[in-house]
């Protein structure tokens, strides 16, 4: 029997070198060979499925051959179907045919045959086709459960209502519904789940690649109290408190993924709004080379994190990947030879060999108080989750001056803006120049779907308008644009990468800072020193075909500047420093 790699090489889909690369990646990722090929973008899932069908001599179920209406089977639970990615697709007499993503697994066929007491046939199915078929089960079940539970809360007192909620939250339909909502988030690769009650009903939205997407099959409005109660029970919240915001945490395992769900509830005029942040412990990338850095930016950044002391700041809005980059930075350091301590709120991922402290505001364990204690622990490197107040910023700067490397985050729009933000927090400029090594601003941009992206020709006026001429190779006048297909939920994008702006504080920048320059002039000075801005780094990724011009504009529209604006800023800087403009 030919191996799947050999089959794909014979078909000309991949090369021998691709097979070697995939085997190396498989050792690290632990997935099956075909799945690793798809993740590396070397072949499509259709190519792998066709090769697997030939290798196993198992027929491949085409998308058009799936039934429109779900086939109901007594004796097989939905949990089994979802957990094993298997779905019934045909019935002929006593024989029941299923489609599965791993049809060669003997457990699936044996379990189904025993549960149904009938002969079963297993065909190979694409993961996307099987997921769509399973979604039809969810939609049908949610409709039935909404009808069953619609009038159960009428005429009850508060105590009876709460007791009823507790009972409902422990019943199979609600448990299954909440599980399905979480399962769908994993299937979509969502980072957040939003369950929101409005006047026109209950809305269910998922944040995928930083953009919210409405779910077409939201649960019935009558199920909102039961869903909220189930989530509260799982996250150890007070089920009876519906008037105050609450926070909790759910640790669970879904389809082989170790999930950490951070749950937040707030009361609104139409009921409790719930947001669950989905942290997939298995999918976090803790390698700086996987963070989307351009080569020149990465080399300069690694120089900064390898310095023995000083402050290195990460800036950007919430959800821009600052913490993940900090984790990757810590993971790149030698934790066996260095004492690394972090103070976080919350501790999102646990790192090997790193002492991590969780801020506990209810017992007054704040960032500042933890930092003061850390300095007595003989650390080499300190990571502060966020510099939120004057005291934390001042202790962080003092720690850097006493021989520690301090990594932290700040909420500013630009890298240069971090300097004036520190000054606003009460840190003197001479302390900033003495302690801060550099500032990295970061944003996340969606990457183009490799299945449907297409080239577009740009005219000279467009190239000049967007400032692309600096980055386009000689003779290239095309970039890629999003289209939309079934692989990317018709968005045109799949996954995200980072764009960066690294502001290094050297002697020239120290003089500009000490001259009292504001954030605009600091930015101009950094540009003069050769800093690549967020927008320009985004343009480099557009030219490389990783993302689209529209996506970069969406993320950096407050950062874009024309050549005239850049020249004007340079002139203002020269006037400020009383120097001739370059």
pLDDT at 48 over 90: no
Considering the domain architecture, whether residues 354 and 373 belong to the same structural domain is answered as yes
Per residue in 314-338, pLDDT tens? 999 888 888 889 988 988 888 788 9
Output the six-digit token pair for 416.
């240069």
Which of 397-411, 424-438, 560-574 is predicted with the least confidence, judged by mean pLDDT?
A: 560-574
Strand order in the sheet with 95-100: 86-92, 95-100, 120-124
**Chain centre to alpha carbon of residue 521:** 34
Contact 407, 382 (CB under 8 A): yes
What is the domain count for the chain? Answer: 3
Distance (Å, rounded) from C-alpha 366 to C-alpha 344? 10
Cα–Cα distance list, 333 to 311, 490, 495 (Å): 16, 40, 27
Inside any domain, residue 558 = no
Inside any domain, residue 47 = yes
CATH number for the domain including 440? 3.40.50.300
Report phi then psi at 413, rounded to 5. -80, -35
Which of 11-15, 120-124, 381-385, 522-526 is predicted with the least confidence, judged by mean pLDDT?
A: 11-15
Distance (Å, rounded) from C-alpha 401 to C-alpha 95? 75
Considering the domain architecture, whether residues 17 and 133 belong to the same structural domain is answered as yes
Range of the domain at 256: 167-280
Q: Which of 49-53, 198-202, 454-458 holds the top average pLDDT?
A: 454-458
Q: pTM of the full predicted structure?
A: 0.67
Q: Is 111 exposed, middle or buried (0-12, 13-18, 19+ CB in 10 A)?
A: middle
Instruction: Characterise 467 by phi-psi region: left (phi > 0), alpha (psi -120 to 50), beta (else).
Output: left
pLDDT at 178 over 80: yes
pLDDT band at 168 (very low <50, low <70, confident <90, very high): low
| Length of the chain measured in residues | 582
CATH number for the domain including 86? 3.30.300.160
The string of DSSP letters for 113-176 reads: HHHHTS-EEEEE--HHHHHHHHHHHHHHHHHHHHHHHTTTTTT--HHHHHHHHHHHHTSHHHHH
Considering the domain architecture, whether residues 125 and 273 belong to the same structural domain is answered as no
Cβ atoms within 10 A of the Cβ of 357, count? 20
Considering the domain architecture, whether residues 172 and 234 belong to the same structural domain is answered as yes
Per residue in 99-112, pLDDT tens? 988 888 888 888 88
pLDDT at 150 over 50: no
Determine the pLDDT at residue 456: 92
Q: Give the mean pLDDT of the chain.
A: 83
Cα–Cα distance list, 357 to 340, 378, 385 (Å): 11, 15, 10
Share of the chain residues as helix, strand and coil, in percent rounded to the nearest 5: 45, 25, 35
- Of 280, 312, 330, the residue at which a domain comes to its end is 280
pLDDT at 130 over 80: yes
pLDDT band at 400 (very low <50, low <70, confident <90, very high): very high
pLDDT at 560 over 70: no
Which of 12-26, 244-258, 506-520 is predicted with the least confidence, judged by mean pLDDT?
A: 12-26
Distance (Å, rounded) from C-alpha 19 to C-alpha 17? 5
Higher pLDDT pick, 530 / 82: 530
Inside any domain, residue 50 = yes
Considering the domain architecture, whether residues 188 and 269 belong to the same structural domain is answered as yes
Considering the domain architecture, whether residues 175 and 259 belong to the same structural domain is answered as yes
Considering the domain architecture, whether residues 227 and 296 belong to the same structural domain is answered as no
Determine the pLDDT at residue 552: 93
Which of 36-40, 308-312, 419-423 is predicted with the least confidence, judged by mean pLDDT?
A: 36-40
Residue 367's closest CA among 398, 390, 400, 340? 390
**Interacting residues of 334 by C-beta distance below 8 A, sequence separation 6+:** none
Residue ranges of E strands in 353-453 = 355-358, 381-384, 405-410, 436-448
Residue 441's closest CA among 320, 543, 548, 296? 320
Considering the domain architecture, whether residues 398 and 311 belong to the same structural domain is answered as yes
> Does an H or E element contain 211, and which?
strand 211-214
Per residue in 282-295, pLDDT tens? 656 677 888 889 99
Considering the domain architecture, whether residues 182 and 263 belong to the same structural domain is answered as yes
Considering the domain architecture, whether residues 414 and 523 belong to the same structural domain is answered as yes
Inside any domain, residue 367 = yes
Per residue in 411-461, pLDDT tens? 888 888 999 999 999 999 999 999 999 999 999 999 999 989 999 999 888
Determine the pLDDT at residue 334: 82
Considering the domain architecture, whether residues 436 and 528 belong to the same structural domain is answered as yes
pLDDT at 18 over 70: yes
Output the six-digit token pair for 177.
């519904």
If you search the block for the tokens 């046939």, which residue do you land on?
121
Determine the pLDDT at residue 135: 74
Considering the domain architecture, whether residues 305 and 256 belong to the same structural domain is answered as no
Output the six-digit token pair for 548.
């689209």
**Chain centre to alpha carbon of residue 348:** 13
Cα–Cα distance list, 455 to 138, 445, 478, 544, 546 (Å): 38, 19, 6, 12, 12
Which of 139-153, 281-295, 414-428, 546-560 is predicted with the least confidence, judged by mean pLDDT?
A: 139-153
């Amino acid at each position: 029997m030919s191996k799947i790699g050999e089959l794909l090489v014979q078909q000309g889909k991949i090369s021998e070198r691709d097979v070697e690369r995939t085997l190396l990646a498989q050792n690290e990722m632990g997935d099956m060979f075909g799945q690793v090929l798809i993740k590396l973008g070397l072949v499509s899932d259709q190519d792998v499925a066709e090769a697997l069908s030939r290798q196993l001599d198992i027929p491949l179920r085409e998308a058009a051959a799936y039934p429109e209406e779900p086939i109901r089977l007594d004796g097989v639970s939905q949990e089994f179907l979802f957990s094993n990615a298997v779905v019934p697709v045909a019935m002929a007499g006593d024989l029941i045919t299923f489609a599965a993503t791993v049809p060669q697994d003997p457990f699936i066929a044996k379990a189904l045959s025993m549960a149904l007491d009938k002969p079963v046939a297993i065909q190979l199915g694409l993961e996307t086709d099987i997921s769509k078929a399973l979604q039809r089960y969810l939609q049908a079940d949610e409709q039935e459960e909404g009808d069953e539970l619609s009038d159960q809360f009428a005429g009850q007192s508060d105590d009876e209502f709460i007791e009823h909620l507790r009972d409902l939250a422990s019943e199979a339909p609600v448990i299954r519904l909440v599980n399905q909502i979480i399962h769908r988030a994993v299937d979509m690769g969502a980072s957040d789940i939003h369950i929101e009650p409005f006047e026109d009903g209950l809305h269910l939205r998922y944040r995928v690649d930083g953009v919210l997407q409405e779910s077409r099959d939201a649960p019935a409005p009558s199920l909102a109290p039961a869903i909220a109660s189930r989530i509260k029970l799982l996250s150890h919240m007070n089920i009876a408190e519906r008037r105050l915001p609450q926070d909790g945490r759910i640790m669970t395992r879904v389809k082989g993924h170790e999930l950490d769900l951070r749950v937040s509830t707030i009361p609104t005029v139409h009921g409790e709004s719930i947001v669950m942040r989905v942290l997939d412990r298995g999918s976090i990338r803790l390698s700086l080379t996987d963070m989307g850095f351009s080569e020149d930016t990465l080399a300069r950044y690694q120089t900064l994190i390898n310095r023995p002391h000083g402050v290195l700041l990460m800036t950007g809005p919430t959800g821009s990947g600052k913490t993940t980059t900090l984790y990757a930075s810590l993971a790149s350091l030698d934790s066996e030879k260095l004492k690394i301590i972090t103070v976080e709120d919350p501790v999102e991922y646990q790192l090997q060999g790193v002492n991590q402290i969780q801020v506990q505001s209810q017992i007054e364990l704040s960032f500042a108080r933890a930092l003061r204690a850390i300095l007595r622990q003989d650390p080499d490197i300190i990571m502060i989750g966020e510099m939120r107040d004057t005291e934390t910023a001042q202790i962080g700067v003092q720690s850097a001056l006493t021989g520690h490397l301090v990594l932290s985050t700040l909420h500013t729009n630009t890298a240069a803006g971090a300097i004036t933000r520190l000054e606003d927090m009460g840190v003197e400029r001479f302390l900033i120049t003495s302690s801060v090594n550099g500032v990295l601003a970061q944003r996340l941009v969606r990457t183009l779907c490799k299945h449907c992206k297409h080239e577009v020709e740009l005219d000279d006026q467009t190239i000049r308008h967007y400032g692309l001429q600096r980055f386009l190779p000689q003779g290239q006048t095309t970039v890629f644009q999003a289209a939309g297909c079934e692989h990317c939920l018709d968005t045109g994008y799949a996954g995200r990468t980072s764009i960066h702006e690294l502001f290094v504080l050297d002697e020239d920048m120290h003089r500009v800072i000490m001259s009292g320059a504001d954030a605009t002039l600091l930015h101009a000075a950094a540009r003069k020193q050769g800093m690549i801005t967020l927008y320009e780094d985004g343009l480099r990724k557009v030219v490389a075909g990783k993302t689209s011009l529209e996506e970069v504009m969406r993320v950096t529209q407050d950062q874009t500047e024309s050549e005239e604006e850049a020249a004007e800023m340079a002139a203002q800087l020269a006037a400020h420093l009383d120097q001739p403009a370059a």
